Amino acid sequence: MSNSTATRPGMKPRPLSPHLSIYKPIPTMMMSIVHRITGGALYFGMLLVAWWLVAASTSEDAFGLAQGVMGSWIGILVLIGFTWALWHHLLGGMRHLLWDTGYAMDKHTATTLAWATLAGSLALTLLTWIAVFVVGA
Amino acid sequence: MADMQTPLRRVRGLGSARGGTAHFWRVRVTSVALVPLSLFAIWLVLATFGSGYLETRAMLAHPVVAILLGLFVVITLDHMRSGMEEIIADYIHGEGLKLVLLMLNLFFVLVVGGACLFALLKIAFGG
C-alpha cells in the first residue's frame, strides 16, 4: 500500500477516483463484477478438471473416488455452480468480444445484454443439468 | 541529445502497465479460441457423465477428443493466467506481495496444466 503513488511518503497525496461503494448498482456493473468473480471461481475450478483427469489416468479406485465425491450432493452442487460460472463467463466474454468491435455500446443495448447474460447463463445451466440427468438416467 | 524515436516507437509496448496492448490482445485471442473449446468440454463432460472407468478412458483416448481437450486445457490455462494477473494488478498494491502472487499464479497454471496434459497423454497412449 505504502508504495502506491497515492500514498508514497513525501509526496502530496494524489486524488483518487471514487470507488465502487458510492455508485448505485446497475446491471452492466453487476455483470462486470460477476464476470470477474466467475473467472476467479473457474480458475480454481480447473483443479477439479485436473483431479478428474489425473484420477482417470491413475486407477479405477482413484477414478471411483473422484466420481464419488463429484457425484455426492455437495459435489453436484459445486458442479452446478461450476457450470453456471462457465456459462456466465462464456456469455459475458462473448459480450466483451462484441463490444471490442465497437458494437452494442449504447446504454440501453448494453443493459439489455447484461440481463441477457444473466438469463442466458441460468437457462443454459438448467438445460445442461437436464441433459446430465437425462444422459445419466 | 534529440530523441530519435518515432512517437509510435515510444508508445509501442510501453503503456502504463509496461506491456502495451499485448496482454489485452492475448486475452482476446484466447477467449475467441475458448468459445468453441468450452462448448466441446461441456459436451464431453455431459457425454461421459455417469460412465464407468473404462468407458471414460476409451472416450478420452480418442485422438480427436484428446487433442481438443488438450487444446482446451492449454488455452484455458493461458487465459486464466492473464485474467488472474489482471486481478492481482488491480487489487494488490504492495510490490512484494504482488511479485509473490504473480509467481504463484504462474506456478499454479504450470502445475495444473502439467498434471492435465500428463494425464491426457498417459490415457491417450494407453498407459
Q: Does domain A25-136 have CATH number 3.40.50.300?
A: no
Ranges of residues in chain A with a pLDDT under 50 are 1-2
Domain B21-124 has CATH 3.90.1150.10: no
Q: How many angstroms separate the Cα of A57 from the Cα of each of B29, B64, B117, B123?
A: 31, 18, 11, 6
Q: What are the sequence ranges of the domains in chain A?
A: 25-136
**What is the pTM for the complete model shown?**
0.85
How many residue pairs from chains A and B have C-beta atoms closer than 8 A? 83
Query: Tell me, what's the pLDDT at B10?
Result: 66
What is residue A1's predicted lDDT score, i.e. its pLDDT?
Answer: 44
pLDDT, one tens digit per residue, over A20-41 is 778 888 999 999 999 999 999 9
Look at A57 and B119 and tell me if their CB atoms are within 8 Å: yes
- What is the signed CA dihedral for A103, A108, A111, A115, rounded to 10 degrees? -100
Using an 8 Å CB-CB cutoff, list residues of chain A that contact chain B.
Answer: 1-4, 36, 39-40, 42-43, 46-47, 49-50, 53-54, 56-58, 60, 63-64, 83, 86, 90, 93-94, 96-97, 100, 128, 131-132, 135-136
Instruction: Find where cell 470477474 sits.
Output: A36
Per DSSP, the residues of chain B read ------HHHHHTT-STTSSTTHHHHHHHHHHHHHHHHHHHHHHHHHHHTT--HHHHHHHHHSHHHHHHHHHHHHHHHHHHHHHHHHHHHHH---HHHHHHHHHHHHHHHHHHHHHHHHHHHHHHTT-
Mean pLDDT by 10 residues, chain B (127 residues): 68 59 89 96 88 93 96 97 94 92 97 97 89
Q: How far is CA A49 from CA A66, A135, B35, B38, in A?
A: 10, 20, 18, 13
Question: Which of B38, B84, B127 comes nearest A43 by C-beta?
Answer: B84
Is-contact A118 A126, C-beta < 8 A?
A: no
